[in-house]
Chains A and B, each alone.
Chain A
Amino acid sequence: RKEVEQDPGPFNVPEGATVAFNCTYSNSASQSFFWYRQDCRKEPKLLMSVYSSGNEDGRFTAQLNRASQYISLLIRDSKLSDSATYLCVVNNRGDSSYKLIFGSGTRLLVRP
């Protein structure tokens, strides 16, 4: 079983739609969580950290469910520019603690 699992997609949605991605992680000791965004042929970029209380940044909302060991990312009012691959990322307590474990990514295509 992979440490971080994501649906690879692609999610194909029209502009203005709301789309949600989920990600599950296997290590219950995981302590820090992130969503990164990667455009084609570009580097991963930190989109947002995910806090226990959940957090929102404009059209993006991230939630953490520790009991079920999953993280979600909600994108409202999708824009064409949101088309990218979204990487779910986890840090594990006590395991060379600065390492991040990256999921394989979920691809989002926003169409006009």
Chain B
Amino acid sequence: DARVTQTPRHKVTEMGQEVTMRCQPILGHNTVFWYRQTMMQGLELLAYFRNRAPLDDSGMPKDRFSAEMPDATLATLKIQPSEPRDSAVYFCASGPGSIGRAIYEQYFGPGTRLTVT
């Protein structure tokens, strides 16, 4: 049963520290998405990639957030420096991104629950 995996599942850190979240997309998927979810804002798209190339990061605060895909099996989201308002659940999702009916489907990982104190 193919799944998106994310690490860590929980992270508590102090303001100003660097946070790195990792995601392993489903093997064979060529689109990868980073979302943030809070009670107030709901699900927000931060950035996404296709074939490892960044396509859109307009939802991401550029001064402190960065997203990369060093290879096809790893996507990372970094926050430096972290702030209390970054506290949220961060989800990674991957999708087939290829022709056919399933082209736009996305499958989510379990998320990283981040708390910045």
**Residues of chain A whose beta carbon lies under 8 Å from any beta carbon of chain B:** 32, 34, 42-46, 49, 51, 87, 91, 96-100, 102, 104-105
Contact = CB atoms under 8 A, between A and B. Distances in A.
Given A43-B91, A43-B111, A100 B106 contact: yes
Interface stretch (B14-22, B43-51, B60-68, B79-87): B43-51
Contact of B104 (A42, A44, A98): A98
B96 to A, nearest CB: 10
B107 A46 contact: yes
- Chain A CB count within 10 A is highest, among B31, B55, B95, B105, for B105
Given A42-B110, A43-B108, 7 more contacts: A32-B104, A34-B105, A44-B108, A49-B101, A96-B55, A98-B33, A99-B56
A45 B91 CA distance: 12
Interface residues on B, range: 20 to 34
Nearest to A95: B56
A51 B42 CA distance: 26
A96 B105 contact: no
Interface in B1-60: 31, 33, 42-43, 45, 48, 50, 55-56
What is the interface of chain B mostly: helix, strand, loop, or mixed? strand
Interface of B: 31, 33, 42-43, 45, 48, 50, 55-56, 91, 95, 97, 101-111
A91 B43 contact: no
A98 B50 contact: yes
Contacts of A43: 91, 108-111
Contact of B108 (A45, A91, A96): A45
Contact of B105 (A46, A51, A99): A46
- Chain B CB count within 10 A is highest, among A46, A97, A98, A99, for A98
A20 to B, nearest CB: 22
A87 B43 CA distance: 10
5 contacts: A32-B103, A49-B101, A98-B104, A99-B45, A100-B106
A100 B109 CA distance: 16
Given A98-B55, A98-B97, A104-B42, A46 B106 contact: yes
B42 A102 contact: yes
